[in-house]
Amino acid sequence: MRNILNRNQNKAAEVRKLLASEKVMMVNIISSPGAGKTTLLECTCEEIGRDFRIGVIEGDITTDRDAQRLKKYDIPIVVINTEGGCHLDSHSISKVLGSFNLKDIDVLFVENVGNLICPSQFDLGETFKLALVSVAEGDDKPAKYPMLFREAEAVILNKTDLIPYTNFNIDKFRSDLRDINARVPLFEVSCTSGDNIKMWYDWIRMRLKSYLI
């Protein structure tokens, strides 16, 4: 495992260097299946696509259904089917970067395979990791999967409109998250209803503007 991670890290360094040379910010979105990664991308492409040039790498075990949902935004999309693999790695990312014209992209979103464990361990050469969880999964995810929340530069709690219909303890979620990563920005949103989603848009715009200077 150590050898695998070392080889992955070497390739991740190459990917990071290439993206930096082209001034492309890469965001590695990690979540469980069904937490709302694709819905978040739909909202984000609709909003910030007016100001920034977006590309997407769609990681999934099979099918291109998520990519099909994003086609309406007329952005470059590459699908990586892992055929059973539980995560993307830097080698798979490196192989598909040639499919993009990086000079025409400001931000490259990677929708990783739905999983909170393996994707957290593999550096893709991303600018930062974005952790996405949903109310429907329960409030214990930061405590159960601390590595992801420790490394994430932002956390999105999605489907907050469902809180009144669940036993989700928002105070416990916040407390557990702060114990692991005290300064990480937390965006409590509903991608479906649009509740508080503007806070995420403002933050990602700010990150992009500072990165592209």
Q: What is d(CA 192, CA 85) in angstroms, rounded to the nearest whole number?
A: 29
Per-residue confidence (pLDDT) for residue 5, from 0 to 100: 75
pLDDT tens for residues 133-150?
Answer: 999 999 999 999 999 999
Tally the domains of the chain. Answer: 1
- Structural domain boundaries enclosing 81: 2-212
- Quick one: DSSP state of residue 152? -
Per-residue confidence (pLDDT) for residue 202, from 0 to 100: 98
Give the mean model confidence (pLDDT) for residues 157-169. 97
* Burial profile 90-129: b = 16 or more Cβ within 10 angstroms, e = fewer: bbbbbeebeebebeebbbbbbbbbbbbeebbebbbbbbeb
Contacts of 50 (CB under 8 A, 6+ apart): none
Give the mean model confidence (pLDDT) for residues 98-121. 96
Contacts of 175 (CB under 8 A, 6+ apart): none
Q: What is d(CA 21, CA 18) in angstroms, rounded to the nearest whole number?
A: 5
**pTM (2 d.p.):** 0.96
Residue 102: which CATH number? 3.40.50.300
Q: Does residue 94 carry a pLDDT above 70?
A: yes
pLDDT tens for residues 12-27?
Answer: 999 999 999 999 999 9
Give the mean model confidence (pLDDT) for residues 109-128. 96
Tallying the residues shown for the chain, one arrives at: 213
- Quick one: DSSP state of residue 32? -
Q: What is d(CA 188, CA 195) in angstroms, rounded to the nearest whole number?
A: 8
